[in-house]
């Protein structure tokens, strides 16, 4: 896609200062078995959230950095309100757990004998609590993890370690390669000990010392090594202690990436500023190189900026990557006759402003749900595709086709015509940002014609669609043989107001549109009308309600 256009548009919406419909932010707590105590959590609920309603939402688990807690990053609330109000993303719930630990402030989202089971707290206890108490979609496909700095490390490692729990992850300015971290941070760490070497490591010596000890508590705790109860990978001369460093590297994000199961279908996004003062930029580029060597798909974006100042501009991009963008989906025609012999069902996909239909990955488009129920396996796109402005609104659409017989086979398992059915189309852009949209299609099929006895009928008349209608309604019928027919509209009084067909028609499926006007071209009044189809031997009647 033209990424600069999409990013600029998202940022304009999120930073323009407009007032958008507001979600609700609540703070609560719950008992974590992994930590053996109550933990605080902040939860964003989108506008319209109803705890006893019938709408369930995707959920993002947001992990904070070293100096924050569950209340940090308050600007993300306005970003969410803006993205949802402008229909860039579908409504989503965001959960921000408190992951502070004692004695070294940040847990790094690992299980540690010193800190406690923070990995299990986030990946298990928190998920169970949220899914038991809030209207979230309890499936991997709608469960995402995102974080910044140490939280970026957490989102990356938890996503890589638990692809059965999370389907997509986003890491902003994350600590993603420990070898590069040590090389980049070592000068800053040593500067906190002006009297060394030898170095008397102390967590209170400065910021980098505190981070150094927090990593030791997360990766190499040692309850027999007072007073700090950690093993550090550097000796008093700042030389690497290989056995301890080997333990640290077991927690290196590239190590977890190498262990990712084949075909895990985990979507990975990370970004970092080129002037990151914490040394994260070379870590991110090295991590990208590691993923390349492993043959894993990912989206990495670099930008001019430091560790935190650009986050209000970067978070909307990460959120869109996780939740996906909301597409407009239309089917044409929007009536599907299950007895007809057509080859394709045609669908038109339009993306929100700032995105282009030209950037849709054609091979990723599929019908994924019927009336909200997932199709397993999805019905993949086939046949020709084309870019055009189908609805003439000045925005390009992607035309795709699905095999008609396959869709009818799927619908036949659960849908009895006539029925209005919501079909959901999902896919990805070429930069792995997902999209999803739904459109309605009217299903018609074998009907029971109004005839006497069991004599076979030469035609089938279907209920008009839409019905009720305000301007136009489509009237469909099936002829089993070439037949002289008359198709007319009657008032309740029995007077004919419109003759739509009066001729010999070839066998097959036909549709006629009635525009609510009589034979003189005058608009008829609101009310009930009868649609009557007559042949030499048979007749059938359906009702239609016109509402002005």
Instruction: Give the CA dihedral 111, 209, 106, 226, nearest 10 degrees.
Output: 50
- The secondary structure of residue 499, as a DSSP letter, is E
**CATH class belonging to 3-176+262-323:** alpha beta
Distance CA 64, CA 130 (A): 18
- Provide the token pair at 69: 């807690």
Distance CA 243, CA 158 (A): 24
Helices marked H in 165-226 — which ranges? 178-191, 207-219
Distance CA 219, CA 111 (A): 9
Q: List the beta bridge partners of residue 172.
A: 148, 271
- Give the mean model confidence (pLDDT) for residues 396-421: 87
**CATH class belonging to 459-546:** mainly beta
Q: Which residues contact 477 (CB under 8 A, 6 or more apart)?
A: 459, 460, 461, 462, 485, 487, 509, 510, 533
Task: Please tell me the predicted confidence (pLDDT) of residue 446.
Answer: 62
Q: Which residues contact 542 (CB under 8 A, 6 or more apart)?
A: 461, 462, 463, 464, 475, 530, 531
- Provide the token pair at 206: 């400065």
- Three-state DSSP class for 242? helix
Distance CA 535, CA 335 (A): 24
Residue whose pair of structure tokens reads 């333990």 in the numeric block: 247
Beta-carbon-side half-sphere exposure of residue 426 (alpha carbons within 13 Å): 17
Cα distances (Å, whole numbers) of residue 241 to 103, 216, 235, 295: 23, 13, 6, 32
pLDDT 10s digits, 32-61: 999 999 999 999 999 999 999 889 999 999
Domain locations along the chain: 3-176+262-323, 180-248, 326-444, 459-546
Task: Please tell me the predicted confidence (pLDDT) of residue 7.
Answer: 46
Respond yes or no on whether the N-terminal peptide bond of residue 440 is cis (omega within 30° of 0).
Answer: no
Task: Please tell me the predicted confidence (pLDDT) of residue 183.
Answer: 94
- Three-state DSSP class for 398? strand
Put residue 154 in one of left, alpha, beta given phi > 0 → left and psi -120 to 50 → alpha: alpha
Distance CA 72, CA 94 (A): 13
Q: Are 150 and 108 in contact (CB under 8 A)?
A: yes
Task: Give the pLDDT band of residue 263 (cuts 50, 70, 90).
Answer: confident
Phi, psi of 101 (to 5 degrees): -130, 165
pLDDT 10s digits, 427-439: 998 888 889 999 9
Q: What is the pTM of this model?
A: 0.74
Distance CA 446, CA 83 (A): 44
Phi, psi of 141 (to 5 degrees): -60, -25
Q: Establish whether domains 326-444 and 459-546 are of one fold.
A: yes
Helices marked H in 295-411 — which ranges? 311-323, 404-411
- Three-state DSSP class for 366? strand
Report percent pLDDT > 90 for the chain.
68
Check the CA dihedral 427-433-434-438 and report its sign: negative
- Provide the token pair at 70: 């569950």
Task: Please tell me the predicted confidence (pLDDT) of residue 540.
Answer: 84
Distance CA 182, CA 186 (A): 6
Q: Are 291 and 268 in contact (CB under 8 A)?
A: yes
**Topology (CATH) of 326-444:** Immunoglobulin-like (2.60.40)
- Three-state DSSP class for 414? coil
Q: Are 541 and 530 in contact (CB under 8 A)?
A: yes
Residue whose pair of structure tokens reads 């997360």 in the numeric block: 218
Task: Please tell me the predicted confidence (pLDDT) of residue 449.
Answer: 40
Check the CA dihedral 106-111-112-117 and report its sign: positive
- Give the mean model confidence (pLDDT) for residues 483-506: 92
Segment among 237-246, 331-340, 472-481, 499-508 with least mean pLDDT? 331-340
Distance CA 16, CA 29 (A): 34
Instruction: Calculate the average pLDDT of the chain.
Output: 90
Task: Give the pLDDT band of residue 21 (cuts 50, 70, 90).
Answer: low
pLDDT 10s digits, 64-123: 999 899 999 999 999 999 999 988 899 999 999 999 998 998 999 999 999 999 999 999
Q: Are 397 and 350 in contact (CB under 8 A)?
A: yes
pLDDT 10s digits, 171-225: 999 999 999 999 999 999 999 999 989 999 999 999 999 999 999 999 999 999 9
């Amino acid at each position: 896609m033209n990424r600069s256009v999409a990013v600029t548009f998202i940022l304009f919406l999120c930073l323009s200062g407009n007032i958008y419909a507001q979600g609700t932010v609540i703070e609560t707590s719950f008992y974590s078995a992994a930590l053996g105590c109550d933990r605080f959590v902040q939860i964003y609920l989108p506008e319209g959230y109803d705890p006893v309603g019938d709408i369930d939402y995707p959920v993002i688990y947001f992990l904070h950095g070293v100096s924050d807690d569950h209340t940090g990053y308050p600007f993300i609330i306005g970003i969410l309100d803006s993205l949802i109000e402008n229909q860039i993303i579908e409504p989503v719930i965001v959960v921000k757990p408190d992951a502070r630990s004692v004695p070294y402030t940040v847990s790094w989202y690992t299980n540690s004998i010193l800190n406690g089971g923070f990995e299990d707290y986030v990946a298990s206890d928190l998920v169970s609590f949220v899914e038991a108490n809030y209207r979230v979609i309890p499936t991997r496909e709608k469960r995402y993890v995102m974080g910044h700095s140490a939280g970026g490390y957490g989102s990356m490692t938890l996503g890589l370690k638990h692809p059965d729990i999370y389907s997509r992850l986003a890491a902003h300015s994350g600590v993603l390669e420990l070898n590069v971290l040590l090389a980049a941070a070592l000068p800053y760490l040593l500067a906190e000990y002006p009297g060394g070497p030898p170095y008397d490591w102390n967590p209170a010596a400065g910021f980098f010392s505190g981070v150094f000890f927090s990593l030791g508590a997360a990766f190499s705790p040692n309850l027999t090594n007072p007073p700090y109860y950690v093993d550090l990978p550097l000796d008093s001369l700042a030389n690497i202690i290989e056995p301890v460093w080997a333990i640290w590297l077991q927690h290196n994000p590239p190590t977890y990436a190498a262990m990712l199961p084949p075909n895990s279908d985990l979507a990975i996004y990370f970004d970092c500023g080129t002037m990151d003062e914490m040394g994260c930029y070379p870590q991110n580029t090295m991590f990208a190189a590691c993923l390349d060597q492993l043959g894993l798909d990912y989206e990495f974006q670099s930008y001019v900026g430091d560790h935190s100042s650009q986050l209000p501009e970067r978070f909307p991009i990460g959120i869109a990557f996780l939740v996906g963008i909301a597409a407009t989906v239309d089917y044409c025609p929007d009536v599907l006759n299950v007895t007809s012999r057509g080859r394709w069902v045609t669908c038109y996909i339009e993306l929100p402003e700032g995105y282009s239909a030209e950037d849709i990955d054609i091979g990723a488009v599929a019908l994924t749900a019927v009336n909200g129920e997932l199709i397993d396996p999805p019905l993949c796109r086939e046949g020709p595709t084309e870019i055009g402005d189908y609805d003439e609104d000045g925005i390009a659409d992607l035309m795709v086709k699905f095999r008609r017989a396959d869709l009818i086979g799927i619908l036949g398992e659960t849908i009895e015509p006539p029925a209005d059915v919501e079909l959901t189309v999902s896919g990805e852009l070429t930069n792995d940002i997902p999209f999803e949209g739904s459109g309605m299609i009217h299903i018609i099929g074998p009907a029971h014609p109004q005839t006497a006895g069991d004599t076979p009928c030469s035609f089938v008349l279907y209920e008009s669609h839409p019905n009720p209608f305000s301007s136009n309604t489509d009237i469909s019928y099936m002829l089993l043989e070439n037949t002289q027919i008359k198709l007319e509209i009657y008032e309740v009084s029995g007077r004919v107001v419109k003759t739509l067909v009066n001729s010999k028609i070839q066998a097959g499926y036909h549709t006629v549109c009635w525009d609510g006007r009589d034979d003189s071209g005058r608009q008829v009044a609101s009310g009930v009308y009868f649609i009557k189809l007559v042949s030499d031997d048979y007749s059938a009647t359906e009702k239609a309600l016109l509402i002005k």
